[in-house]
Structure 1
Amino acid sequence: MSAAGRWGIPAVRGHGRFVAATGIDSIGTGLVTTFIIIYFVRTTSLSLVTIGGSLSLARLLALPVPLLVGPLIDRFGARRTAAAGNLLVAAGFTGYLAAGHPWQIVAMSFLVQAGQATYWTSSSPLVVLAAAPRDRTRWFGFVHALRNAGLGLGAAAGSLSLGFSGTAGLQAIMAGNAVSCVVAAVLLTRWHPEPGAAGPAATATAVPAGYGTVLRDGRYLLLIGVNVTFVFSALVVNVLLALYIDQGLHRGAWIAGVLLVLNTVQIVLTQTAITRRTERYRPTRVLIAASLVHVVSFVLFAALDVAPGWSVVAGLFLAMAVLTVGESLSAPPTDQLSVDLAPEHLRGRYLAVYQLSWTFGQVTAPLLFSLLFSRGPAVPLLALIAISLASVPLLLLLERTDRRVRAMNRSLVNETS
């Protein structure tokens, strides 16, 4: 076995363009996310409230986009759809250079949000194109690590640019980001993982169907419910952590930034190795382990509310390390199940609905965590413990349901043969 194989890194030969496009997209996302509000503060005369409201409105308008993207993936294939998403983002970033009125910010931000939603809805089918079925878990782990590395690098570059770049410098970075999105789109269109891979996922013999088929698939809806529990756990880092440290534990909010860096570095260094160790097990069992690891991390975080002062900072680092292990355990198998449980000719529609579990979490988590925090600093963490524990019986039910469906399908095949 090669050194890369021992570390859980899949064979990327023939897929360099896909890997490069993923890295470019992640760096660009991390870069712009860091300074997008500051960019408009420095390049327009609009108030901070107007800028924030315009960006929020654009995000709200883009919420249904994944449902529009699903049929496009089924018809045109993931590569073309993802490339189109990158071009939409490039158009939005280019428009940012001339945006000076609220409606312009809304319009260009909508293009960016729609393009990013298009790309992310297409991302799992892209991995399916690159990976043989037996290697999917490893590929999902590798892509998760790659994205975190790119997001971290982009965020660091964006933070540095705020300190050293004037208005012209920020505009140059925005223009460069638009160009990078075009490059990523070109790389995807020139990537040919296998003969015919650029074509649509549906076949000529596929039975026409739509979102009604997805909504009648109880097994897949159960998976979406399970994923919502992991979405809330994943959003702790970005939504709850700084608030808990600053207002709950009365420590410097800068610690949250350090913990975020720790989270990113730990994923980059350990994700593929963890995936290699766990890929032999059933995804549902790995997810049960991830849920229990999350429970341990939330218990540690919550205990700091009553812990001696001298132990708080060290406890935060320990709890974050444990939480990150849970994230590394959960990300590849959830992605794998999202594609494995979806019929090939409807995979785009299935994954579009699956993507809404992330949208639901991102919309509701800030409000939910804030309401719970108002009742006590540790209350959101206690709720997360309950949510993570609730995922265990759901996963066991999913496992039994999946076995039953597969057995029925085998019986039907035997009867018709």
Structure 2
Amino acid sequence: MFVDALGSGLYLPFTLVFVQAVTELPVQTVGLGLTVAAFAGLVANPLAGVAADRFGARQVLIASYLLRVVGFACYPLVHGFAMFIVIAAVVSAGDRSFYPANSAYVADHAQGAARDRLYALVSTGRNVGLGIGGLLAAGAVQLADKAGYQVIAVLNAASFLIAAVLLAATGRSGRANRRAVRQRPRDLFAGYGRVFRDRTFRRLTFAELAFTGGHSVIPIAIPLYATVVLHAPAGLLGLLFTLNTILVAAGQLPVLRWQQRARRTHAMALAGMVFVASFGAFALAAALPAGPALTVGLVLAVVLCTLGELLHARPSASLAAALAPEAYRGRYLATYQLTWAVSAVATPGAFAGLIAFDARLLWLILAVATAVASVALLRLAATLPATAQRA
């Protein structure tokens, strides 16, 4: 997971710039192509859930790595829009297949408190990898300019190949996946009907959709809000992103220890209230004068938002895994992860439109949606078994 994140960190900080430099296509064309490719990821998400139940989460993870090996190795060869769409769709399919398979693979390896710790450890490793990858990417571009992006494409493909080899070498599959292989082929997609009929899981999934907005604020909303509305210096953005990365990497395990005795629904609801406070802090930052006051205001808002991320991430993943029947775990977690895929498609345009119209409306909508989701989780708590609520 660390090697995978190291490769992802090489291009995630400036995806649009990276793809434009490597393919030499116009920026508008690249933006349109990435949007179209994102829809391919939406399709890949439920397919990955079926494949995880049929063949095992580990095999789907390896396939997601190999898809991205092919995609990033081919990026430097792209010289037309049609080929770019195909390659970007392959990368998007690999990205979106990874998340449900990753959740199912971790869930297959541990239960109870051990599963919570493993989710937290994987998240820590991924964030450290993303941070280091971002630093390496900045150095490559600074030293080699345009050729640096070509180097990033090759290194990224190599990192996913190494991750696939490492994962293949483990030779370990989950107990649930071995049992699920016996399912009849005609029942594979019918299994999603079971997911949609599960009222408790459906309510949890809708609540999760609101929380994805909070997780999207720092990477998507803040760059535009800080520069367009607050007229903050570009250098401050780097500080805010670095602060977020350090806090997430360092805070996962301490927050996990603090949450050990808390009910998962209540921990998520608390995270929602912290998110709401951070949205209020971002809105109030517009009233601060430029200079030290604005910097301090944004730093405090980012700290609150990051705390919301930390408080939400572990109980959310663990609760979803605990509610998923073993034989259908891939499909359950693919449905849960689909909220993040939908958010990845919808939030860039929605955030940009709201900030251009009235940024206060963005913070109000996010606050109301997250508060409603938090209340829904507290009401859901009474219907859940104790084994799902606590590690």
**TM-aligned CA deviation for residue 375 of structure 1:** 4.0
Larger Rg: 1
Equivalent residue number for residue 393 of structure 1: 375
Report if the CA contact (8 A) 1:30-1:152 is conserved: yes
Change beyond 3 A, Cα 1:58–1:364:
closer
Report if the CA contact (8 A) 2:271-2:312 is conserved: yes
**One-letter identity of the residue aligned with 2:7:** G
Equivalent residue number for residue 268 of structure 2: 287
**TM-aligned CA deviation for residue 355 of structure 1:** 1.4
Q: Matches of residues 223-262 of structure 1 in structure 2 within 5 Å?
A: 223-262=204-243
**TM-aligned CA deviation for residue 33 of structure 1:** 2.4
Secondary structure in 2 aligned to 1:184?
helix
Report if the CA contact (8 A) 2:66-2:164 is conserved: yes
Report if the CA contact (8 A) 2:65-2:161 is conserved: yes
**One-letter identity of the residue aligned with 1:200:** R
Which residue of 151, 155, 167 corresponds with 1:188? 167
Q: Matches of residues 116-195 of structure 1 in structure 2 within 5 Å?
A: 116-193=95-172
Output the CA distance in 1 between the equivalents of 2:387 and 2:103.
23
Equivalent residue number for residue 337 of structure 1: 319
Secondary structure in 2 aligned to 1:306?
coil
Report if the CA contact (8 A) 1:80-1:198 is conserved: no
Change beyond 3 A, Cα 1:131–1:371:
same
Secondary structure in 1 aligned to 2:77?
coil
Secondary structure in 2 aligned to 1:377?
helix
Change beyond 3 A, Cα 1:39–1:311:
closer
Secondary structure in 1 aligned to 2:42?
coil
Identity of aligned residues (%): 32
**TM-aligned CA deviation for residue 269 of structure 1:** 1.3
Output the CA distance in 2 between the equivalents of 1:360 and 1:45.
28
Output the CA distance in 2 between the equivalents of 1:203 and 1:91.
28
Equivalent residue number for residue 379 of structure 1: 361
Output the CA distance in 1 between the equivalents of 2:111 and 2:258.
18
**One-letter identity of the residue aligned with 2:68:** V
Change beyond 3 A, Cα 1:199–1:370:
closer
Equivalent residue number for residue 28 of structure 1: 7
**One-letter identity of the residue aligned with 1:80:** Q
Report if the CA contact (8 A) 1:338-1:351 is conserved: yes
Change beyond 3 A, Cα 1:377–1:205:
closer
Output the CA distance in 1 between the equivalents of 2:96 and 2:298.
33
Q: Matches of residues 199-214 of structure 1 in structure 2 within 5 Å?
A: 199-202=177-180, 204=182, 208=187, 209-214=190-195
Change beyond 3 A, Cα 1:306–1:168:
closer
**One-letter identity of the residue aligned with 1:329:** L
Q: Which moved more, 1:248-257 or 1:312-321?
A: 248-257
Return 5+ residue gaps in structure 1 as ranges.
Answer: 1-21, 407-417
Output the CA distance in 2 between the equivalents of 1:383 and 1:35.
27
Change beyond 3 A, Cα 1:110–1:204:
closer
Q: Once the two structures are superposed, what CA deviation does each residue of 1:254-308 show, in whole Å capped at 9, x if it has no partner? A: 3222111100001111211111111221111111111111122122222222245
Q: Once the two structures are superposed, what CA deviation does each residue of 1:159-179 show, in whole Å capped at 9, x if it has no partner? A: 221111255443333223212
Name the structure with the higher helix share. 2
**One-letter identity of the residue aligned with 1:92:** G
TM-score, normalization by structure 2: 0.91
Report if the CA contact (8 A) 2:23-2:77 is conserved: no
**TM-aligned CA deviation for residue 59 of structure 1:** 2.0
Structure 1 segments, 4+ long, off by >6 Å, are none
Output the CA distance in 2 between the equivalents of 1:140 and 1:32.
24
Equivalent residue number for residue 105 of structure 1: 84
Secondary structure in 1 aligned to 2:78?
coil
**One-letter identity of the residue aligned with 1:27:** L
Equivalent residue number for residue 9 of structure 1: none
Change beyond 3 A, Cα 1:273–1:64:
same
Equivalent residue number for residue 317 of structure 1: 299
Output the CA distance in 2 between the equivalents of 1:45 and 1:322.
39
**TM-aligned CA deviation for residue 114 of structure 1:** 0.8
**One-letter identity of the residue aligned with 1:285:** H
Which residue of 178, 188, 203 corresponds with 1:222? 203
Report if the CA contact (8 A) 2:176-2:326 is conserved: no
Change beyond 3 A, Cα 1:85–1:33:
same
Output the CA distance in 2 between the equivalents of 1:257 and 1:200.
45
